[in-house]
Amino acid sequence: MILFKRAGDLGSWLEHQRKAGQTIGFVPTLGALHAGHISLITISKKSTALTVCSIFVNPTQFNDPKDFQKYPVTLEKDIPMLEKAGVDVLFLPDVAEMYPQGTTGLETYDLGPLETLLEGKYRPGHFQGVCQVMRRLLEMVRPDHLFMGSKDYQQCMVVQRLLETIGLPTTLHRCPILREADGLAMSSRNVRLTPDQRANATAIYRALTAIKTGYPAQPIPILIDAALHILEAGGFRVDYVSVADARTLEPLPGPSPDGAVALIAAFQGEVRLIDNMELSL
């Protein structure tokens, strides 16, 4: 595995590989890696000749400064995991490399309703930060294929819109959610849960499963109310429970033949967890 810290060095090396006919897969991360991240790398390695992984905790996508300060940094564990997984290139920039002019007065993006629904509503500015860092990473790596986890369902939609906006010929692959044995979606934030909170956190999976089991036979408001009861019984402070159109994330009044998804965001103590589950008729 080759490690780069400078975008210029990374770009020169990748351009040489590109001219040699190598296809490039890219897995962007914030570090604190787990099996879910490794699954993205495995998919990339099966699909492309070279897999690039980045680790960068992007300050502009944290609308809560305390959340940014507490985000786990575990490079001493992450790097051996990436080597074992067979990553070809690790890009490890610092803030100055990504934002040489600083992080104020940055460009903004028209994200339409995605910026006012669900994560957009509860984390104002978050998706602008996602686009700011993703545009820089994508232009530095110029991958043929981009691999992202479906747990961040709305973020995948935002990144797809970004790709269309900036006109990069990169194909986005939304990869399956990996879960622990008890159903909890794998997340870097899980390590911040106390043992009691970790046990309670499975309520998100149970709430989503209840919605999936009841859909489409039961009215959506009844499904959402039942999910809220499950979450509150598990000690969660809920931001939202939504049954939404899978293409737009607009809330659904009833079953949709065009696809639906249940999405949840809720706090267990100070730790905010998100999850989702696609629904079928």
Where exactly does CATH 3.30.1300.10 map onto the chain?
193-275
The string of pLDDT tens digits covering residues 81-121 is 999 999 999 999 999 999 999 999 999 999 999 999 999 99
Q: In CATH, what class is 2-175?
A: alpha beta
Where exactly does CATH 3.40.50.620 map onto the chain?
2-175
Q: What is the 3-state secondary structure (H, E, C) of the chain?
A: CEEECCHHHHHHHHHHHHHCCCCEEEEEECCCCCHHHHHHHHHHHHHCCEEEEEECCCHHHCCCHHHHHHCCCCHHHHHHHHHHHCCCEEECCCHHHHCCCCCCCCCCCCCHHHHCCCHHHHCCCHHHHHHHHHHHHHHHHCCCEEEEECCCHHHHHHHHHHHHHHCCCCEEEEECCCECCCCCECCHHHHHCCHHHHHHCCHHHHHHHHHHHHCCCCCHHHHHHHHHHHHHHCCCEEEEEEEEECCCCCECCCCCCCCEEEEEEEEECCEEEEEEEEECC
Residue type, 60: T
The catalytic position among 34, 37, 126, 145 is 37
Q: Quick one: pLDDT at residue 70?
A: 85
- Considering the domain 193-275, what is its CATH architecture? 2-Layer Sandwich (3.30)
256 is in an annotated binding site: no
Q: Examine the pLDDT at 63 and tell me if it is beyond 90.
A: no
Q: Quick one: pLDDT at residue 245?
A: 98
189 is in an annotated binding site: yes
Q: What is the mean predicted confidence (pLDDT) over 190-204?
A: 97
110 is in an annotated binding site: no
How do 89-91 and 50-55 pair as beta strands? parallel
6 is in an annotated binding site: no
CB atoms closer than 10 angstroms to residue 196:
11
For residue 83, count CB atoms less than 10 angstroms from its CB and return exposed for 0-12, middle for 13-18, buried for 19 or more.
exposed
Angle 153-166/126-141 helices, nearest 10 degrees? Answer: 50
Q: What is the mean predicted confidence (pLDDT) over 232-258?
A: 97
Q: What is the mean predicted confidence (pLDDT) over 186-206?
A: 97
Q: Quick one: pLDDT at residue 65?
A: 82
User: Which residues have CB under 8 Å from 70's CB, separation 6+?
Assistant: 192, 270
61 is in an annotated binding site: yes
Q: Quick one: pLDDT at residue 147?
A: 98
Clarify whether 37 is annotated catalytic: yes
How do 237-245 and 260-268 pair as beta strands? antiparallel
152 is in an annotated binding site: yes
Q: What is the mean predicted confidence (pLDDT) over 132-156?
A: 98
What the block records as the tokens of 219 is: 């009215």
187 is in an annotated binding site: yes
Q: Examine the pLDDT at 79 and tell me if it is beyond 90.
A: yes
For 99, 165, 183, 258, the CA distances from 25, given in Å and listed in that order, are 23, 20, 28, 30
pTM equals: 0.96
